Amino acid sequence: MSTAQPLKKIASCVILDLDGTLLNTDGIVSDVLRVYLGKYGMQWDGREVQKIVGKTPLEAASAVVEAYGLSCTTSELLSEITPMFSNQWCNIKALPGANRLIKHLSGHRVSMAMASNSPRENIETKISFHQGWKESFSVIIGGDEVGLGQPSPEIFLEVAKRLNVDPSSCLVIEDSLPGITAGKAAGMEVVAVPSIPKQSHLYTSADEVINSLLDLQPEKWGLPPFQDWIKDTLPIEPWHIGGPVIKGFGRGSKILGIPTANLSTEGYGSLLSEHPSGVYFGWAGLSKRGVFKMVMSIGWNPYFNNTEKTIEPWLLHDFDGDFYGEELRLIIVGYIRPEANFSSLQSLIEKIHHDRKVAEEALDLLLFSKYKDDPYVKSST
């Protein structure tokens, strides 16, 4: 883990948003709206997602009706899609770092509250599928329990009142612009975890902007630090992805001198939405060659300004040639750092080689080396 930054302010409690901050709600929203709009011969393309993130259900529904010129009313839209959403609450996954953060703060007896523009009943239902969440929060407030939803500060001021704390001692963690605006208007410190890709520049009013909850450093706010980083890496719940190698080698080899082996993202949209952009590491199995250490980036590569989120593994082995078309299976076991931009190509190359060194050393540890024999990876060979 990088050296902690100077203390920003001492927080006595943490207020967490739910949708988009702790839960990966975006995929469910897209699935429901895709089905609903399909009845009108329209396709949900996410172009209006910025207008619905952080809004109350009524405001979000109104934005969809207006954006797509639907013939139904906002109330009619809500009455039809609400049951569709309710059927999906049990399928919403916690975002990476959410369980870790809740357990950490709860274990250190840090006062926690949940404040969301969603109705209280919906909040209760969603968190019921995540063990230990409900009992970890001293206060839970839904948007239907206050007069005005975010960006009004009312919900956050109500939290402070119920906790009997000064608003200035509260740290808000939010993914949406309305939530950030509300937190600052309440006189609170705000950490933004943007849920909309490539939009971090819009969050300048926040006191800090981080890529994901994996990058939160509680010690900046006078809270107990995480102690789970090992040799500059964070162990994560292992996950798999695989497919034929479709491209790579070109830009990586010619410009960077680093032969990445890109996988197709087709069919992996929901999986990619679950995992923040950044640098990860693990093991790679090639169908005809064996199992190798690998370090990989997921994201938009800001230096090259990619338009699509990509998966670019670098197999840490000197191969005689490329292996386009071969089946590549990955198990990702650890996290190194968030995606970042660089002022020069040379600084980017230096950082990538540093990531390689970190990954290689970490994968020699038993904690990570045991996954070399993972059945999914080995079955490819």
The structure tokens 């950044």 sit at 278
Supply angle C-alpha 296, 301, 306, rounded to 5.
125
Largest CA distance in the chain: 66
pLDDT at res. 249: 43
Q: Is residue 338 within 8 Å of 276, Cβ to Cβ?
A: yes
CATH of 13-21+92-221, picked from 3.40.50.1000, 3.30.450.40, 3.30.2080.10, 3.90.105.10, is 3.40.50.1000
Known active-site residue 207:
no
Per-residue model confidence as pLDDT tens digits over 190-213: 999 998 777 778 899 999 999 999
Q: What is 234-377's CATH superfamily?
A: Riboflavin kinase-like (2.40.30.30)
Domain ranges of the chain: 13-21+92-221, 25-88, 234-377
Q: Give the whole-angstrom CA distance, residue 19 versus residue 27.
A: 11
Which pair of tokens denotes residue 79? 């009455």
Over residues 136-163, mean pLDDT:
96
Q: Do domains 13-21+92-221 and 234-377 have the same CATH topology?
A: no
Catalytic option among 17, 207, 339, 355 = 17
Instruction: Give kind and range of the element (H or E) at residue 102.
Output: helix 98-107
Mean pLDDT of the chain: 89
Question: Per-residue pLDDT for 263 more than 50?
Answer: yes
pLDDT at res. 2: 44
Q: Is residue 380 within 8 Å of 287, Cβ to Cβ?
A: yes
Fold of 25-88: DNA polymerase; domain 1 (1.10.150)
What are the helix and strand counts (H, E) for the chain?
13, 12
Q: Is 321 helix (H, G, I), strand (E, B) or coil?
A: coil
pLDDT greater at residue 319 or residue 364 = 364
Per-residue model confidence as pLDDT tens digits over 310-346: 888 999 998 887 788 889 999 999 999 999 989 998 9
Entry pTM? 0.89
Catalytic option among 175, 215, 312, 374 = 312
Instruction: Give kind and range of the element (H or E) at residue 4.
Output: none
Q: Is 111 helix (H, G, I), strand (E, B) or coil?
A: strand
Known active-site residue 237:
no
List 241's β-bridge partners, or say none.
330
Question: What are the DSSP calls for 210-254, one per residue?
Answer: -SSGGG--GGGGTSPPP---BTTBEEEEEEEEEEEEEEESHHIII
